[in-house]
Structure 1
Amino acid sequence: MSSPCDPKFAPVGDVSAALMVIDSRLKAVYDGGPTPDPEQQRLTDQYVASLAPEGIDDLLDGACTLIYGFMQWLRQAHEAQGEDVIEYVVPTLVATMRRMPRSIPVEVIPTMVGLVVAAATDLSPNLWRRQYGYWTRHELTPLEATAFLLADHINRITDDRTFASRMISEALLQSDDG
């Protein structure tokens, strides 16, 4: 039976823009520079400010698509080891988020975990979230942080600082070819 949160019903959004934001954050952290890099932050802010409301929605949907893609990869990797992705990813994610109270208010952690669990159970994170209304201002930075933390987790597992971004970029190229 099909769920209203089935990924086939979900908008993909602007995955390229969402990936650009996450990738620039990863590079800044890995390079040990200011987080975020002031110039990159200015460019990102300028880009986001230029978006119409539907563009913001596309960026949010794109971030959710990244979360879905990252969790699908993590689920497959953990299942190959006989492990449950939720058991291994969620506690670490929550612990990290709790250490980031200026960026991630404690009250939005359950929503971010819900997005991750939805993706891990093959549901669309953005459709799961829409059940509860429109995104709040307090959820935007945590959404970005969730995608960032999952990408970083994948990069650490693979011991490759660009693996997560490259994986999504390759998937985008394949979808354009297909």
Structure 2
Amino acid sequence: MPSPCDPQYAPVGDVGAVLMVIDSHLKAIYDGRSEQGAEQRALTAHFTASLDPVDLDDLLDGTCTLIYMFMTWLRKAHESHGKDPVEYVVPSLVAAMRLMPKSFPPEVIPTMAGLVVAAGTGLSPGLWRRQYGYWTDEEMTGLEGTALLLAEHINRITDDQDFATRLITEALDGVGEH
């Protein structure tokens, strides 16, 4: 019997919009800009304020789908070398989260790590999280940061700054062909 957290039951959400945000953050990091510019922050704030609850849920679901897709790739990559992805990915992400207390307050780190563990074990991170109620405001930055950290992790292990974005773009293109 499938789990109620099985990905087949999960809404996909707006993966494309989330991927654009993550890609923008990655490019800023790789260009040596650790902080978003004032103009970028204003655009992001304006965009977020324009969202209705359905749009916001689509972004949340899209972020969880992105986390699932990244962890699926990481799981396959690690397992092909006889390694457990949870053992290698989660400690690295938690260590990175602990270094960024503004983005990851200590109380959200277990939830963000739980999303990665859920996805790493083949469960939908969004459905896993949903069992604990609606997202809190504190988790919003952490959720986006988790997707960003996973993308950066993939880019680092592949030694290709665009690999994670290309991986998802190609997967989305493949869906459109069917």
- TM-score of the superposition, structure 2-length normalised? 0.97
Are 1:98 and 2:91 counterparts? no
Question: Are residues 34 and 157 of structure 1, via their aligned partners in 2, closer, same or farther at CA, if it must alter by over 3 Å?
Answer: closer
Are 1:175 and 2:166 counterparts? no
1:99-138 matched pairs, under 5 angstroms? 99-138=99-138
* Structure-1 residue corresponding to 2:152: 152
Superposed displacement of residue 41, structure 1? 2.6
CA distance in 1, matches of 2:177, 2:126: 25
CA distance in 2, matches of 1:161, 1:33: 15
Instruction: State the Cα deviation string for residues 150-177 of structure 1 (Å, max 9, x = none).
Output: 0000000111101101111111111111
Instruction: State the Cα deviation string for residues 46-76 of structure 1 (Å, max 9, x = none).
Output: 2222111110010011000010000000000
CA distance in 2, matches of 1:174, 1:41: 32
CA distance in 1, matches of 2:108, 2:40: 26
* Structure-1 residue corresponding to 2:162: 162
In the alignment, is the contact (CA less than 8 A) between 1:15 and 1:59 conserved in 2? yes
Question: Are residues 32 and 82 of structure 1, via their aligned partners in 2, closer, same or farther at CA, if it must alter by over 3 Å?
Answer: same
CA distance in 1, matches of 2:34, 2:93: 22
Are 1:3 and 2:13 counterparts? no
- Give the percent of matched residue pairs that are identical in Structure 1 and Structure 2: 66
CA distance in 1, matches of 2:20, 2:45: 12
Instruction: State the Cα deviation string for residues 124-147 of structure 1 (Å, max 9, x = none).
Output: 000000000000000000001100
CA distance in 2, matches of 1:163, 1:104: 25
1:8-27 matched pairs, under 5 angstroms? 8-27=8-27
Q: Partner amino acid for 1:31?
A: D
CA distance in 2, matches of 1:2, 1:110: 25
Are 1:52 and 2:52 counterparts? yes
In the alignment, is the contact (CA less than 8 A) between 1:21 and 1:44 conserved in 2? no
Q: Secondary structure at the match of 1:165?
A: helix
Mark the runs of 5 or more structure 1 residues left unpaired by the alignment. Answer: none
In the alignment, is the contact (CA less than 8 A) between 1:155 and 1:164 conserved in 2? yes
Stretches of 4+ aligned residues off by more than 4 angstroms: none
Superposed displacement of residue 34, structure 1? 4.5
CA distance in 1, matches of 2:157, 2:42: 31
How many matched pairs? 178
Mark the runs of 5 or more structure 2 residues left unpaired by the alignment. Answer: none
Backbone CA RMSD of aligned residues: 0.9
- TM-score of the superposition, structure 1-length normalised? 0.97
Q: Secondary structure at the match of 1:66?
A: helix
